[in-house]
Amino acid sequence: MNTPNFFNGKTILVTGAAGFIGSYLSDRLCQENPEAKIIGFDSLNDYYDPKLKQHRLENLKQHKNFTFVKGNLADKVAIEKLFAENHFNIVVNLAAQAGVRYSIDHPDAYIESNLIGFYNILEACRHHTPEHLVYASSSSVYGGNKKVPFSTDDKVDNPVSLYAATKKSNELLAHAYSKLYNIPSTGLRFFTVYGPAGRPDMAYFGFTNQLIKGETIKIFNYGHCKRDFTYIDDIVEGIIRVMTKAPEKQTGKDGLPLPPYKVYNIGNSNPENLLNFVQILQEELIRAGVLPKDYNFEAHKELVPMQPGDVPVTFADTTPLERDFGFKPHTPLREGLRKFAEWYKSYYSVQN
**In this structure, what CATH number is given to the domain that contains residue 8?**
3.40.50.720
- Closest to 76 (Cα-Cα) out of 68, 84, 67: 84
At 308 the pLDDT is: 80
Does a structural domain hold residue 213? Answer: no
Range of 34's domain? 4-192+232-268+314-330
Count Cβ atoms within 10 A of the Cβ of residue 337 and give its class: 0-12 exposed, 13-18 middle, 19 or more buried: buried
Strand residue runs (E) in 77-221: 90-93, 132-138, 185-190, 193-194, 217-219
pLDDT above 90 for 83: yes
Does a structural domain hold residue 338? Answer: no
pLDDT above 60 for 138: yes
How confident is residue 145, by pLDDT bands cut at 50, 70 and 90? Answer: confident
Q: For residue 133, what are the CA distances in angstroms to 91, 125, 156, 343?
A: 5, 8, 22, 32
Q: pTM of whole model > 0.85? A: yes
Mean pLDDT value of segment 166-175: 97
Query: Other C-beta atoms within 10 Å of 74: how many?
Result: 19
Does a structural domain hold residue 341? Answer: no
- The rounded distance, in Å, linking the Cα atoms of 338 and 280 is 9
Does a structural domain hold residue 42? Answer: yes
Between residues 1 and 289, the one the model is more confident about: 289
Helical axes 333-347 vs 203-212, angle rounded to 10°: 50
φ, ψ at 66 (rounded to 5°): -110, 135
Does a structural domain hold residue 308? Answer: no
Residues linked to residue 84 through DSSP beta bridges, in sequence order = none
Q: Is the dihedral of CA 147, 268, 311, 142 positive or negative?
A: negative
Residues linked to residue 11 through DSSP beta bridges, in sequence order = 37
How confident is residue 327, by pLDDT bands cut at 50, 70 and 90? Answer: very high
Does a structural domain hold residue 180? Answer: yes
User: 3-class SS at 112?
Assistant: helix
How confident is residue 3, by pLDDT bands cut at 50, 70 and 90? Answer: low
Does a structural domain hold residue 214? Answer: no
pLDDT per residue over 210-261, tens digit each? Answer: 999 999 999 988 888 899 999 999 999 999 999 999 999 999 899 888 999 9
DSSP code for 133? E
The catalytic residues are 163
- Whether the bond into 149 is cis, omega within 30 of 0: yes
Mean pLDDT value of segment 282-292: 97
Q: If you average pLDDT over every residue of the chain, what do you get?
A: 94
Q: Which helix (DSSP H) or strand (DSSP E) does residue 32 occupy?
A: helix 20-32
pLDDT per residue over 297-311, tens digit each? Answer: 999 999 999 888 778
In the chain, how many domains are there? 1
Does a structural domain hold residue 136? Answer: yes
Q: Are 65 and 43 in contact (CB under 8 A)?
A: no
- The rounded distance, in Å, linking the Cα atoms of 29 and 26 is 5
